[in-house]
Amino acid sequence: MNCEKASRLLSAYLDHELTPEERRLLRLHLLACAECNEELRQLETIKGSLARLCVTSVPSFLPWLRARLAEEEAILADEERPVFVWQQPWFRRTCAAVAFLLLFGLGSWLLSPQRQKGPVPSQNGLPSLPEASWVNVERNLLR
Ligand SMILES: [Zn+2]
Over residues 38-54, the pLDDT tens digits come to 999 999 999 888 888 77
What is the rounded distance in angstroms from the CA atom of residue 75 to the CA atom of residue 80?
A: 9
95: amino acid identity, one letter: C
Instruction: Measure 3 CA to ligand 1 centroid, in angstroms.
Output: 4
What is the rounded distance in angstroms from the CA atom of residue 41 to the CA atom of residue 31?
A: 13
11-26 tens-digit pLDDT: 999 999 999 999 999 9
Instruction: Measure 12 CA to ligand 1 centroid, in angstroms.
Output: 15
Going by C-beta distance under 8 Å and a sequence separation of 6 or more, which residues neighbour residue 109?
115
Instruction: Measure 5 CA to ligand 1 centroid, in angstroms.
Output: 8
Instruction: Measure 13 CA to ligand 1 centroid, in angstroms.
Output: 14
Instruction: Measure 9 CA to ligand 1 centroid, in angstroms.
Output: 11
pLDDT computed for residue 72 by the predictor: 87
Please report, for the chain, the start and end positions of each structural domain, with discontinuous segments joined by +: 3-81, 86-142
Domain 3-81 has CATH 1.10.1060: no
Q: What is the CA radius of gyration of the chain?
A: 48
pTM of the model as a whole: 0.39
